[in-house]
Amino acid sequence: MFTGIVSDVGEVVEMSRSGHIARYVVASRYPAESFLLGASVANDGACLTVVEAIPQGEGSRLTFDVGAETLAVTTLGGLAPGKRINLERPLKIGDELGGHLVSGHVDGLAEIVAREDFEGMSRFRFRAPAELSRFIATKGSVALDGTSLTVNTVEGDEFEVLLIPHTLAVTTWGERRVGDRVNLEVDQMARYAARLSGRD
């Protein structure tokens, strides 16, 4: 379980494929000794298992295996060396819940259809898959590339969020452009509410 508060931006340094499995290595500021094998880390919002953690300077090189399903429904299949990704370690009991509860199970991909920059901030408009847009509500929460964000407006399958200067500076969002696709996880409470109402 995560909160959508990005705690590091890693860089992909190796990427390889074998059959339906991809393996990639990320350079991170997280200390290698703080990981047990099998630990979870959200990579652009997708929960992955650490299969190797090697010290590198004051940080680490973290290795992840990615299965066919994850490659199919997330942006991770398009990773290549040099690509920067948002990282978050899982929530611990007693930690501050600064964002919202995020499972790390990506529901689908949203496309950036507009970006407006002003006063150091950026307003993004996204198009969500039709089967997911009904779970997105004004003033509700979404996780986009692992970042907990508040929805400002919703119009059909499109919705907008506003990113403040701090978020743009400490995540990969400053690099995002119109046409990019990002990992989308809808609010779990919205999904459960739809299920209980019989509309899912």
The whole-number pLDDT of residue 172 equals: 98
Q: 108-137 pLDDT, tens per residue?
A: 999 999 999 999 999 999 999 999 998 999
Among 88, 119, 134, the domain-final residue is 88
Name the one residue in this structure whose structure tokens are 């696709």: 181
Domain C-terminal end among 88, 123, 139 = 88
The answer on 118 and 189 residing in a single domain is: yes
**CA nearest neighbour of 7 among 70, 90, 124:** 90
User: How far apart (Å, rounded) are the C-alpha atoms in residues 74 and 14?
Assistant: 18
Residue numbers of the domain that contains 27: 8-88
Strand (E) or helix (H) holding 170: helix 165-170
CA atoms within 13 A on the CB side of 183: 31
Same domain assignment for residues 83 and 117: no
**CATH at 121:** 2.40.30.20
Residue 83, C-beta contacts closer than 8 angstroms, at least 6 positions apart: 11, 12
pLDDT digits (tens, 9 = 90+) for 15-51: 999 888 999 999 999 999 999 989 999 999 999 999 9
Q: Which stretch of 42-56, 67-81, 149-163, 167-181 has the lowest confidence by average pLDDT?
A: 67-81
pLDDT at 195: 65
Residue where one domain finishes, among candidates 35, 59, 88:
88
- Bridge partners of 54, per DSSP, are 61
pTM: 0.92
pLDDT at position 18 is 87
How much of the chain, in percent, has pLDDT values that exceed 90?
80
Q: β-strands 108-118, 84-88: how paired?
A: unpaired
Which of 97, 33, 93, 94 lies closest to 59 in space, CA to CA?
Answer: 33
Count structural domains, the chain.
2
Structure tokens that stand for 138 in this block: 């004004």
Look up tokens 């790390």; give the residue. Answer: 104
Question: How high is the mean pLDDT of the chain?
Answer: 92
